[in-house]
Structures are given as structure tokens and as C-alpha cells.
Amino acid sequence: MLTKRIIPCLDIKDGQTVKGINFISLKSVGDPVELARAYSDQGADELVFLDISATVEGRKTFTGLVERIALNINIPFTVGGGISSVEDAAVLLRAGADKISVNSSAVRNPDIISGIASRFGSQCVVVAIDAREVDGIWRVTTHGGSRFSDKELYSWARQAESLGAGEILFTSMDHDGTKNGYACEVYRRLSGILDIPVIASGGAGTAGHICDVLSDDGGRADAALAASVFHYGEILIPALKRELAEHGIPVRL
């Protein structure tokens, strides 16, 4: 049985780690390099770095910051934000990223998924999907959740997989930062229709929430991503993993 992964997320704006609720009211929570090193030392399985304002501001991800983080950690490292071409991905992989996350650019130009996958392999491609439920339909958004697209979550996830995505990282905008738990029923459905791993994001408030989204009786996600509960020390990764193991969820201790 494959182990489930615990993934802290560094949302970066103006070179600092930030966190908000439903993608707004952002507050600085610390230096990204220091946080990355701490999470690596605590036993996080992977790290995700998202330059959340790069697409909105029409610029590229901070390559220098990616290099500094990569030098300070020894776990897989996913980078996203402002990546609009295969060459953008190449630059970040050379800077130390292990995987590339595409979101708005993939909605606009799905061929970027197959382009990165064909050059570097599907294992390097994470398609991030931000969506909000509107009248019972999960509508995909872009530009940091600020614009609705014409895509629907489940059909877009299947299309992304067919184009070469190696993983799907889904964030529920309705749950993001609320600490009220993940949208487990959505992850359960995604895991049922996809053959690639699903990373759950948005809503972690307790260890129990993470247990729920990873469990076979809950969301059946392959990995749980969280930010504020880790940044503020509300959940410590070693203790979280021990609790998950006690509930029969396979994790790397």
C-alpha cells in the first residue's frame, strides 16, 4: 500500500509566505526559506511553493527564491505560479524544483500540460485546480481564484490526466482557510474517476480533518496539503503522522 503524503504549502506574495481565507485577506506568516527548512526537518513528505500573485501581476515566479529553498530542503519540491510555457517550467526545474504546478495557464492553454509532460515526464506535472461550487456545479477559477472559467472540475481533471498530468491538486475555494474540514465528498469522487494521485487542499483545521480526507471511508485522497495549521504551529507534522498511523493510515514516520 502506498503511503499517504503530508504536504505543507507556502503561498508566496512579494517574497513572503502569506495566508488568508477564501483566497483573500492575506497576512504574512514568515520567511519562506526558514519555513521550508523547518518543514523538511519535521518530516514533511513534500513541499509546495505557490507564487499566488504571479499570474495576476503578469510576471514570472521568483526563480532566486526557488533556488534558495531548494538548497535548504531534502524533500520533493513543487513550484507553481506564473508558469505559461514549457521553457518557464524548464527554468524552475533547473533552479531546483522537482515538479511544476500549472493552473491558470493550463486552463487557458491545455497543451502546456502535454508539453511539459513530453519533455520532462508526467511525474513532473501537477495540475492545480481551484474551484467554487455554484448552483451545485464546481466551477473552475483562474488568476488566484479571482476569475471563473468555462470549465467544470471533474471534466477538467479528467482532461488534464489525459494530457499527461501526473497529479491533480484540487483546492476548494469554499473551504480554503476556514479550518472547517476538507470537501471530502469531492476528493472521494475525484479519486474514483482518476488513475493519478489526488492532493487535497483547503479546509484543514485539525488532525482529524486530515485523517478524514486521507481515509478510505472519507476523501480517499493520496495526499493532504495544508498551510495555516502548520504555519501557526496548530498541528505539528510528527504528531500528525503518529495520529494518522494510529488510525491505520499508512504514512512515512
Q: Which of 14, 111, 25, 126 is nearest to 65 (CA)?
A: 14
Query: Model pTM?
Result: 0.92
C-alpha cell, 23: 483566497
Q: Grid coordinates 464546481 are at which residue?
A: 138
DSSP assignments along 225-251, one per residue: EESHHHHTTSS-HHHHHHHHHHTT--B
Mean pLDDT, consecutive 10-residue stretches, the chain (253 aa), reads: 92 72 54 91 95 56 86 95 92 95 96 98 97 96 88 98 98 90 97 98 96 97 94 94 97 95
88 contacts: CB under 8 Å, gap ≥ 6: 60, 61, 82
Predicted local distance difference test score (pLDDT) of residue 53:
62
**1 three-class SS:** coil
CB 4 within 8 A of CB 250: yes
User: Can you list the positions of beta strands (E) in the chain?
Assistant: 5-13, 16-21, 24-30, 47-51, 77-80, 99-102, 125-134, 137-142, 147-152, 167-172, 198-201, 223-226
Q: What is the C-alpha separation between 7 and 170, in angstroms, rounded?
A: 13
C-alpha cell, 184: 471530502
Q: Which of 104, 37, 101, 92 is nearest to 67 (CA)?
A: 92
Q: What is the C-alpha separation between 86 and 91, in angstroms, rounded?
A: 9
Catalytic residue IDs: 11, 130
CB 236 within 8 A of CB 42: yes
Q: Which domains does the chain have, with CATH numbers?
A: 5-246 (3.20.20.70)
